[in-house]
Amino acid sequence: MPFETGAKSHLDRMNLTKRLSEQLEPLFMEHGVSAVEYGQNVLLQGNPGLTSRLRKLDVKKSDVICMKKFSPDFVLWKEPIAFLMLDAKVSITPMFFDAAITRLRVEAGDLSLDRHRIGEVEREAWDNYTKRYPVKKVAICMATPYNPNLVLAEWASELVALHRYEGDINEEAEGSGTPHVNIDLGKMRTLQDFLTEELGVNVDVRMYNDLLDEVKEWPLSKPGRVNWRQFNNVVYRLHHKCPWLKGRMPRVHPFARAVVREFADAGIDLELF
């Protein structure tokens, strides 16, 4: 990869989201789905004054401004009548701490919930899609290397938030501290199934596999409050369903690595280096 992901800011996700969009557009075109870029960048045309103003906390109180700031990335349509809006999103930071996952399981009433299924959406974007648009008109496309299906899609109106952060600033988050909503990636269809079932297209296997291969190469992000031992052990656990993940693995004997993986699967963190 040309960059190292981390907790520097939201720029890593923006870069990956751009790469995702660049692969989605030809995929849509190949299957007779017209795609027009929409979203904040198109609507504002790079106006620095407006862009700066939209970063202020008070704008989140206005439905009209939120409709503009959190507009979906694409307008899609397929003849004769299929029409929808789609927002492309990326999740490269799994939930690292087991205690947080346990709390989320209790809050969601689902003890089978695991870190492969937990994704994040900016809270105001989620509110926009679920409260200000008609049912089954806005879809979320989520690409993430730590879910075995890699690229997912579902109507926003069909998803249920696992957890909603209520404060205006998330003090626990690094970077922008943007409040979020956790969603269940396990309740989303693969992008392939979504396009087939909702738009009636027979997705080209080669093009789709190219998209999946791209996402497999994305590195996970390590928040600053997660140390390298914790990071690597979570990567080991995720390997059970996502063997393509490339953590920052220490150079250890294969037998020692296998032992560490066994302990990690049992919920025991070993010191790796």
Is 143 among the domain residues? yes
Q: Quick one: 234 and 205 in the same domain?
A: no
Residue 7 has a pLDDT of 39
Q: Is 39 part of any domain?
A: yes
Same domain, 163 and 195: yes
In a domain, 19, yes or no: yes
**Pair 44, 153 in one domain:** yes
Mark whether 119 and 195 lie in a shared domain.
Answer: yes
Q: Are residues 25 and 47 in the same domain?
A: yes
Based on the fold, state whether residues 210 and 234 are members of the same structural domain. Answer: no
Query: Is residue 222 situated within a structural domain?
Result: no
Distance, CA of 148 to CA of 216 (rounded, Å): 10
Q: Do the domain assignments include residue 18?
A: yes
pLDDT of residue 204: 96
Integer angstrom CA distances of residue 262 from 45, 86, 229, 257, 265: 52, 40, 15, 9, 5
79 and 117 share a domain?
A: yes
The domain in which residue 138 lies consists of: 11-216
Domain end, chosen from 192, 216, 240, is at 216
Distance CA 177, CA 170 (A): 5
- Residue 136 sits in the same domain as residue 173: yes
Quote the pLDDT of residue 70: 79
Tell me, yes or no, whether 183 lies in a domain: yes
Within a domain: 20: yes
Say whether both 51 and 160 belong to one domain.
yes
- Would you call the peptide bond into 80 cis, given omega within 30 degrees of 0 as the criterion? yes
**Among 183, 180, 186, CA closest to 116:** 186
Instruction: Give the model's pLDDT for residue 37.
Output: 87
Nearest to 235 by CA among 224, 226, 248: 248
Q: Provide the pLDDT for residue 50.
A: 52
Residue pLDDT tens, the chain, 273 long: 333 444 344 446 678 888 999 999 999 999 999 998 886 666 555 656 555 555 555 566 666 666 667 789 999 989 877 889 999 999 999 999 999 999 999 998 999 999 999 999 999 899 999 998 999 999 999 999 999 999 999 999 999 899 988 855 545 555 555 788 999 999 999 999 999 999 999 999 999 999 999 999 999 998 888 988 899 999 999 999 999 998 765 555 566 667 767 776 776 655 544
Same domain, 240 and 194: no
Tokens of residue 146, six digits = 């730590």
What is the pLDDT, as a whole number, of residue 8?
A: 45
CATH code for the domain of 161:
3.40.1350.10
Q: Are residues 28 and 79 in the same domain?
A: yes
Tell me the whole-structure pTM to 2 decimals: 0.80
User: Hey, how many other C-beta atoms are within 10 angstroms of the C-beta on 49?
Assistant: 8
54 and 76 in a single domain? The answer is: yes
Count of domains in the chain? 2
Output the pLDDT for position 9: 40
40 is a domain residue: yes
